[in-house]
Chain A
Amino acid sequence: MTNIQSSAVVAETEGPLVPPEPGAATKARPAWRSLNFGPRLWVSAGLILLITLLAFVGPLFYPYAPDQKVGSLYDSPSAEHILGTENFGYDTLAVLMSSTRNSLINGLLAGTLAVFIGVTIGILAGYVGGWLEELLMGFTNIVLAIPSIVILILISISLQSTDIPFLKGIVGLALVIGITSWPWTARAVRAQASSVGTREHIDVAKLSGARTPGILLFDVLPYLASYVVMAWVLQLASAILAESTLSMLGLGPSGTNSLGMQLHWALAFQAVATGAWWAFLPPTIVLTLISFGLLYLQSSLDEVFNPRLRRGKKKNLAAAAARRAENARKLAEQNEREEVTA
C-alpha cells in the first residue's frame, strides 16, 4: 500500500542528492537500446528466420526436387529420404520446403495488401472524419460482421473456374485473402488516427501549409508506425492460416504446393488413419511454428512499444531495490559527514 508513496519519495531523492561521479557515467546508449527487446522477441524472430531459411535456402542444398517422383505412396522415412515420401511419391521434405516458401510468399502478399487497404481506410476515416468516416466505418463494420471465411470460400470457388492463369495460383489466392481481411486493421487504425489528428503538431503542419496527403503521410502515419508493424505481423499470420484453411477445403491453388495443400492431400489419402505421420506432421508443425512465431513476435513487439504491458523482471526489481538501499546509505554517510564538519 505504501509502495507508491515510498517509491515516489525515492525517485525524488535519488537524483540531486547523490550526483553520479563523472568518471563512472556510462557512454551514451544508442537510441535503439532503450527499446528494451526482451528474450521473447529474439526467440520469436529466430523462429521466423529459421523457417524462412528452410523455405528459401533449404531447397538449394537438398538433392530432390518437389516434383520429382522418387518413391511410391507413403514410403517410410529412410536415410535417403529423411521424411519419406508423400501420397504422389514425391520426397516429403522437398515438398515441405516448396510449400513453406509458397505459403510465406502468399502470406507476405496478402498480409501486405490487407495492411495497405486497412491503413488507408483507417487513416482517412480517422483523420478526415465527418461523413467520410461514417461511410468508411459503416462499410468496415459490415464487412467485419460477415464471416470472412464465407466470402473467401465464395470468391475462391469463382477463381477456381477462371481461365486467367495469373489468378489461379498463389497470387490470386493472396489477392482474395488480402481484400477480405483488412477490416480489423482499418478499425484499429481509425481509432489511433483520430487521436493523433487532435494533437498539436498536426495544427502546426496545417498552419505551415501542408496538404492533407502530406499530413497523413508525414505527420500521422509515423505516429502509427509501431501499430502498423504489429498489425502487419498479425495479418501475415492470419493470411497464411487463411490460405491453408481454403486449401484444406479443396479451394487452394491448384497444381501448386502449399502447406494447406499438403495437409489436404494427406487427409484425402488417409495419412492420419494409416499412421503415415511423416506426410502430415511436418506441414502441421511448420504451420504451427509460423503461426506461433508470428503471434509471439507480435506480443513481444507489443511489450516493446507499450510499456504498460511490460512486467518487471525480478532481477531488475532486485537491482533497483539494491540501488535504492545504496543511495540511502550514501545519503546517510553524507549527512553524517555534514554533521561532523558542522
Chain B
Amino acid sequence: MGLKRYLANKTLWYLGALAVAVVLNFLLPRLIPGNPVDVLVSKLGQGGMSSEAQKQTYEAFLREFGLDKSLWDQFVLYITGALHGNFGASFSFYPTPVSSLIEQSVPYTLALQLPAIILGWIIGNVLGAVAAYKGGSWDKSVFTTSLVFSSIPYYCLSIVLLFVFAVTLGWFPVGGAYSLGMSPEWSWDFFSDALTYWWLPFISLLLINIGGQAVGMRSMAIYELGSDYVNYSRSLGIGDGKMTRYIFNNAMLPQITGLALSIGTMVGGALITELVFNYPGMGSLLFGAISSSDYPVVQAVTLIITVAVLVANYLVEILYGFIDPRIRAAKSGEK
C-alpha cells in the first residue's frame, strides 16, 4: 500500500516539476527585451548585408521562430514541436533542423556521462564506507583525497589533466572525439580511435564523482557506526562482515537520494568538461549556440537536459521506493 502511494506521490511531483521546467524554458528566453531575431539580424547586418536581404532574412527568421504569433500560440507550437521531436531550424546552420544537430551530439554526451556517474557512484560509496569503517590513517587519506577531488571544479581538473597528460606528456590526444579523417560510423576502427579520445574526459569526470560520493558516504557511515543498533549488535558479538553489511545498507539509502539530487550538478559540470576537451557533445553544442545567439538550439538543448535530469531523478526515486523497506512497510505513504 505504502509503495503505491509513494509512487503516485513521486509521479505527481515530477510531472509538476516537468511542467514548471517546460514553461520556464519557454518563457525565460522570451523575457529578453526586444527579440532574439533582432540581435541576430543586427549581427548579420554588421557583416555588410544589403538592407533588402536583411529584411527578408529577418522575416524568414521571425516566421521560423514563430515570433509573429501571440505568446500563447507560440507556446502551443513549442509544445507540439517538442513532443514530435521537432525544435525548428538552427539559426547558424540554417536550414539544418535542431534535432539533427542534437542527434549528432547526444551519443558523445551519453558515452561520457552515464559510465562516469554510475561507476563514480559505486566506487565512491564503497571507498567511503571502507574509510569510515577502517578509520585511522586509511580514513584520513581517503577522506582528504576525496575532499580534494570533490571540491575541484570539474573544468579545473579537466584543464590540468588535459595539459599534463595530453599536451605535456602526449599520452592522450589533445581534444576532439576522433582523429582527423575519421567519420562517425559503426566500425571497430572508429570505436578504437574514439576510445583514445574518450579516456581523458571520462577519467576527469569519474575522479570528481568518486570524490563527492565518498565524502558523503563516509559521513553517513560514521553516523551509522555510532548508532544504537551498531553498539547493540556489537555487544551481541556479531561479526565484522555482517556489521559492515548492515551499516552499508543503512548508509546507502540517503546516498541514493543524494544521487538523485546531484545528477543535475554532475550533468552541468560535465557540459563544461566537454568544452575543455572540445568533445562534440551537448555541452559543446550549447556553447557554440550561445556564442552565435542560436536560440532554437539553446532552447532545445536546455529542454533536453532538463527532461533528462528530471527523468533520471524520477527513476532513482522510484528505485528508492523499492529498496527502502520503510516505504514498503508503511501503511500511509511517506514518513
What residues of chain A have their CB less than 8 Å away from a CB belonging to chain B? 1, 4, 138, 141-142, 144-151, 153-155, 157-158, 161-163, 237, 241, 244-245, 248-251, 263, 267, 272-273, 275, 277, 280-281, 284, 287-288, 291-292, 294-296, 299, 302, 308-309, 311
Q: Does B332 contact A (CB under 8 A)?
A: no
Complex contacts, B261 vs chain A, CB 8 Å = 144
What residues of chain B have their CB less than 8 Å away from a CB belonging to chain A? 13-14, 16-17, 20-21, 24-25, 28-29, 31-34, 39, 135, 139, 147-148, 150-153, 155-156, 159-160, 162-163, 167-168, 174-175, 215, 219, 222-223, 226, 231, 234-235, 237, 261, 263-265, 267-269, 271-272, 275-276, 286-287, 290-291, 298, 302, 305-306, 309-310, 313
- B-side binding surface: helix, strand, loop or mixed? helix
20 residue pairs A–B, Cβ–Cβ below 8 Å = A142-B13, A145-B17, A145-B264, A146-B17, A146-B21, A146-B264, A147-B264, A147-B268, A148-B268, A149-B267, A149-B268, A154-B28, A154-B29, A244-B153, A245-B269, A267-B276, A280-B159, A292-B152, A302-B219, A309-B222
Complex contacts, B155 vs chain A, CB 8 Å = 244-245, 248, 263
Supposing A146-B24, A161-B32, A245-B272 touch, asked if A284 and B310 sit within 8 A by C-beta, the answer is no
Complex contacts, A267 vs chain B, CB 8 Å = 275-276
When C-beta atoms are compared, the residue in chain B nearest to A184 turns out to be B261
Complex contacts, B17 vs chain A, CB 8 Å = 141-142, 145-146
Closest 8 CB pairs of A and B: A149-B268, A147-B264, A154-B28, A145-B17, A295-B151, A292-B151, A142-B17, A284-B156
In the complex the two chains form, is A251's CB within 8 Å of B290's CB? yes
In the complex the two chains form, is A296's CB within 8 Å of B151's CB? yes
| Bound form: Cα–Cα A64–B50 in Å | 45
Complex contacts, A292 vs chain B, CB 8 Å = 147-148, 151-152
In the complex the two chains form, is B156's CB within 8 Å of A157's CB? no
In the complex the two chains form, is A284's CB within 8 Å of B160's CB? yes
Complex contacts, A277 vs chain B, CB 8 Å = 163
When C-beta atoms are compared, the residue in chain B nearest to A2 turns out to be B235
In the complex the two chains form, is A288's CB within 8 Å of B156's CB? yes
The 8 Å CB contact of B167, one of A141, A158, A249, A272, is A272
- A-side binding surface: helix, strand, loop or mixed? helix
In the complex the two chains form, is A311's CB within 8 Å of B135's CB? yes
In the complex the two chains form, is A249's CB within 8 Å of B286's CB? yes
| Bound form: Cα–Cα A263–B148 in Å | 20
Return A336 CB to nearest CB of chain B, in Å. 34
In the complex the two chains form, is B290's CB within 8 Å of A311's CB? no
| Bound form: Cα–Cα A163–B34 in Å | 11
In the complex the two chains form, is B28's CB within 8 Å of A149's CB? no
When C-beta atoms are compared, the residue in chain B nearest to A307 turns out to be B226
Supposing A275-B168, A280-B159 touch, asked if A149 and B271 sit within 8 A by C-beta, the answer is yes
Complex contacts, A299 vs chain B, CB 8 Å = 147, 215
| Bound form: Cα–Cα A84–B308 in Å | 43
Complex contacts, B263 vs chain A, CB 8 Å = 147
In the complex the two chains form, is B264's CB within 8 Å of A149's CB? yes
| Bound form: Cα–Cα A149–B225 in Å | 36
The 8 Å CB contact of B28, one of A144, A151, A237, A250, is A151
| Bound form: Cα–Cα A237–B152 in Å | 11
The 8 Å CB contact of A273, one of B25, B167, B269, is B167
| Bound form: Cα–Cα A210–B39 in Å | 56
Complex contacts, A142 vs chain B, CB 8 Å = 13, 16-17, 20
| Bound form: Cα–Cα A153–B174 in Å | 27
| Bound form: Cα–Cα A280–B268 in Å | 21
| Bound form: Cα–Cα A153–B286 in Å | 10
The 8 Å CB contact of B234, one of A1, A153, A308, is A1
When C-beta atoms are compared, the residue in chain B nearest to A260 turns out to be B155
Supplied contacts A150-B25, A158-B32, A267-B275, 11 more A-B pairs, CB within 8 Å: A4-B231, A145-B17, A145-B21, A147-B306, A149-B264, A149-B305, A153-B302, A154-B24, A154-B28, A263-B159, A308-B222
| Bound form: Cα–Cα A267–B20 in Å | 35
The 8 Å CB contact of A291, one of B152, B267, B290, is B152
In the complex the two chains form, is B287's CB within 8 Å of A146's CB? no
In the complex the two chains form, is B222's CB within 8 Å of A287's CB? no
In the complex the two chains form, is B33's CB within 8 Å of A162's CB? yes
In the complex the two chains form, is A146's CB within 8 Å of B235's CB? no
Complex contacts, A263 vs chain B, CB 8 Å = 155, 159
When C-beta atoms are compared, the residue in chain B nearest to A237 turns out to be B151
In the complex the two chains form, is B167's CB within 8 Å of A275's CB? yes
Residue among B14, B155, B215, B226 with max Cβ neighbours from chain A (10 Å): B155
| Bound form: Cα–Cα A321–B112 in Å | 52
Complex contacts, A308 vs chain B, CB 8 Å = 222-223, 226
Supposing A4-B235, A157-B298, A284-B160 touch, asked if A148 and B264 sit within 8 A by C-beta, the answer is yes
Complex contacts, A311 vs chain B, CB 8 Å = 135, 139, 222
Complex contacts, A244 vs chain B, CB 8 Å = 153, 155
The 8 Å CB contact of A249, one of B222, B290, B310, is B290
Supposing A146-B306, A157-B32 touch, asked if A248 and B275 sit within 8 A by C-beta, the answer is yes
In the complex the two chains form, is B167's CB within 8 Å of A145's CB? no
Complex contacts, B152 vs chain A, CB 8 Å = 288, 291-292
Complex contacts, B32 vs chain A, CB 8 Å = 157-158, 161-162
Residue among B20, B31, B156 with max Cβ neighbours from chain A (10 Å): B156
Complex contacts, B163 vs chain A, CB 8 Å = 272, 275, 277, 280-281
In the complex the two chains form, is A241's CB within 8 Å of B226's CB? no
